[in-house]
Amino acid sequence: MEFEVTPAGRLVMRNIPPVLAGLLKQIPPAAECDTEEVEARFFSSPSLDPDETGLREDWKAHVEPELHTLFLESRQVVDADLRGLVETGDLASLEFPAAHADAWLNALNQARIALVTRHQITEQEMTSPHPRDIETPRDLALVQIFFYEHILHWLVEVVDP
């Protein structure tokens, strides 16, 4: 798989093997806030101090709805970009505007956090080498997390050279 920035400022992923194309397509659904645990991780309280009730209420009323909107909009941008995935033969390619990089960064981070939370991935597992065998959904989630991290690194380099 190759990453490129075109002279016109478009971001391109080329020579994407089918399994990785499948993982790309899983970014929006993986990033969904579909359990209480994921919700708590995405929208944690700004303070656990019992005296900060007002802060928590303001957060819930004003900040959290904006975060929900931002997260949803990011997933929608990525989903729309993924509809442009071109699969030819054994490989695929994807091209999207560099202006969408922030949405991709956001959606990829959401997906990684949600996968870690859903599958109870430990910090030690996150820092160890990739799994040798993929035998369970949890193993596959770990591969997704590592793959999404790889794309994140590329996007960060593109956005902040």
**Which pLDDT score is estimated for 47?**
77
What pLDDT, on a 0 to 100 scale, did the predictor assign at position 156? Answer: 94
Closest C-alpha to 35, from 113, 108, 118: 118
- The one-letter amino acid code at 3 reads F
Q: What's the pLDDT tens digit per position in 111-145?
A: 999 999 999 998 888 887 766 788 889 889 999 99
Domain boundaries, the chain: 2-159
Angle at 80 between CA 20 and CA 94, to 5 degrees: 40
Mean pLDDT of all residues belonging to the chain: 91
Tell me the pTM: 0.89
In the sheet that holds 91-97, the strands lie side by side as 2-5, 10-16, 91-97, 86-88
Q: What is the pLDDT of residue 110?
A: 96
Exposed / middle / buried, residue 84 (Cβ in 10 Å: 0-12, 13-18, 19+): exposed
Identify the three-state secondary structure at position 31. coil
pLDDT band at 72 (very low <50, low <70, confident <90, very high): very high
Number of other CB atoms surrounding residue 137 within 10 Å: 10
User: What's the confidence (pLDDT) of residue 89?
Assistant: 87
Return the pLDDT at 131: 66
* HSE-up (13 A, CA, CB side) for residue 87: 11
